[in-house]
Structure 1
Amino acid sequence: MSFSRSTSPLPLPANFQRDCFSAATKRWKYLRRVFKFDQMDFEFALWQMIYLFVAPQKVYRNFQYRKQTKSQFARDDPAFLVLFSLCLFVTSVVFAIVSRLTFLQFVNFLLYAIFVDCILAGLIIATIFWYILNKYFRVNEDQDVEWGFAFDVHLNAFLPPLIILNFCQLFFYNGLISHEWFISRFIGNTFWLIGVCYYIYITFLGYGSLQILQRTNLLLVPLPLMLLFYILTLIGGINITHFLMQFYRDRVLIAS
């Protein structure tokens, strides 16, 4: 016995729905849930954060499931963003302690970290990827990369470097990395190499999971360039961590 889809009491799968929400409607629904903590799945968001370190490809399988069930790749639950903001706050506290910042200087650094280093940089990077991939990498002109998904990919890729560089690395800074020894710049620069490689690889996995894109392996091209730059900094005596710590301190002091 066969049944017509029109007589089924079940809703249509997202892939077959005719009246899907617009991008603006999806963004509004997402932002409206930011302060509704009881509606957020923090356990699943924490699972995603952990697996971004150990098996990031599994995180993007969930994006595929969301596309099949909700007709969008981008997250519709702001729980990940809330936990990400908490990580940003904790790492900023660690930086302030290591750098011996005053409370006002800490507030300035936190505002810079949130609105400049994370949000502004994320908006720029996500927009660049969204434009270039839709223009040059699409297989099917009828489908495109969602901007919200591009921003999610940036947040996914940004989390491991944030924890590695702004948390784990700082515990070694004053006692070891801040000196002029070779081992100091080797450890500091290695932290940065790992962090940047994480960002590139997770970004590649994110866009590589989309079947509407081709040649996404080109996103891995910066990896050997980063390795070459890493070797040159060791030979040239450049301590990347020390240089950037001084840059962030100066930026905070100027703002204060």
Structure 2
Amino acid sequence: MLPTSHPIGGSSKLRGKSRSSLLWLYLRRLFKPSQMDFQYTFWTMLQLCVSPKTAYRHTSYHKQTKNHWARDDPAFVVVCSALMAAIAVAYCLAFSHSFGRSVLTVVSAVAVDFLAIGAVIATLGWGLSNKFLRRQNQHSHAVEQSVEWMYAFDVHCNAFFPMFLLIYVLQLALCPILLMHSILGRVLSAALFAAGSSVYWYITFLGYSALPFLERTEVFLYPIGGVAVAVPLAIVLGINPTKLVLSWYFGYIP
């Protein structure tokens, strides 16, 4: 009988070559907007808000058709970066006092808040899942699978978008209430940040649990427990997350 898969050593070389070509394709499309599927990106963003499981169900279809889990289209990252820049400009118009500080804030929002911190979280999730969460192969001839770093970053991007709508967009709209010198402002601000953080970790959990070769992915839900403890503590201590964030970026004095 012919073997049904490649030996593990050979498959690892093939995977390495495949990932290199995927990265090259990804970077090449980054400079060719005509090759980006923005329609599918906006559909995915909608599903992440109304039915995130549906969005990840299409991830498995992507694996079946292209033999990798990660996106080969940077449209999602481009759209999220543009949205981050736009909301940062809106905050600057509302709270900033200088053009130079506004430019720095916009660059920081995209390069640090979204991309750099996202890369760190993706790297931690990638390392954790590959080292501790992979199922042990039951068959000696089975191809060993692992989480692609680019997929881990996709998971961050997916989880970031609904959080962005809550913590960035909705917060700006509710600022007149959130900045009130009352317990109502503190409670609403803490609740908003708790909802955004919880949604982020829930969608992160869905992203890793969509991979059939991982187990115990509920560890990605554990940070929600920390959020549940932090919210009442912040309210009791009189901490308003919105005021803290505005103070950090704009020197806002309550």
Specify the TM-score bucket, using the shorter chain as the normaliser. Answer: 0.7 to 0.9
Q: Which whole-Å CA distance do the structure 1 matches of 2:251 and 2:116 have between them?
A: 20
CA contact (8 A) 1:122 1:155 kept: yes
Correspondence for 1:166: 168
Greater Cα shift, 217-226 or 105-114:
217-226
1:196 CA drift (Å): 0.2
Deviations 1:62-91 (A, max 9, x none): 111111110111001111122111211111
Secondary structure of 1:238 counterpart:
coil
CA contact (8 A) 1:137 1:213 kept: yes
CA contact (8 A) 1:74 1:149 kept: yes
CA contact (8 A) 2:47 2:55 kept: yes
Where do 4+ consecutive residues of structure 1 move more than 3 Å?
18-21
Q: Which whole-Å CA distance do the structure 1 matches of 2:14 and 2:179 have between them?
A: 57
1:236 CA drift (Å): 1.6
1:218 CA drift (Å): 2.1
Correspondence for 1:213: 214
CA contact (8 A) 1:126 1:154 kept: yes
Question: Structure 1 residue 129 and structure 2 residue 125: aligned?
Answer: yes
CA contact (8 A) 1:94 1:167 kept: no
Gap runs ≥5 in structure 2: 1-10, 138-143
1:154 CA drift (Å): 0.6
Correspondence for 1:157: 159
CA contact (8 A) 2:76 2:157 kept: no
Correspondence for 1:184: 185
Q: How many residues align?
A: 234
CA contact (8 A) 2:96 2:250 kept: no
Correspondence for 2:147: 145
Secondary structure of 1:22 counterpart:
helix
User: What's the TM-score once normalised by structure 1's chain length?
Assistant: 0.86
Deviations 1:77-109 (A, max 9, x none): 111122111211111112112213433222100
Q: Which whole-Å CA distance do the structure 2 matches of 1:41 and 1:123 have between them?
A: 23
Secondary structure of 2:213 counterpart:
coil
The equivalences for 1:1-256 within 5 A come to 21-140=17-136, 142-173=144-175, 175-250=176-251
Q: Which whole-Å CA distance do the structure 1 matches of 2:37 and 2:198 have between them?
A: 29
Deviations 1:233-256 (A, max 9, x none): 1122111111121012249xxxxx
CA contact (8 A) 1:133 1:145 kept: yes
Secondary structure of 1:221 counterpart:
helix
Secondary structure of 1:33 counterpart:
helix
Secondary structure of 1:211 counterpart:
coil
CA contact (8 A) 1:169 1:191 kept: yes
Deviations 1:159-214 (A, max 9, x none): 111121111111221x2212320001111111101100110100000001111100
User: What's the TM-score once normalised by structure 2's chain length?
Assistant: 0.87
CA contact (8 A) 1:193 1:230 kept: yes
Q: What amino acid maps onto 2:46 in structure 1?
A: I
Q: Which whole-Å CA distance do the structure 1 matches of 2:213 and 2:60 have between them?
A: 12
Q: What amino acid maps onto 1:236 in structure 2?
A: L
Q: Which whole-Å CA distance do the structure 1 matches of 2:145 and 2:85 have between them?
A: 37
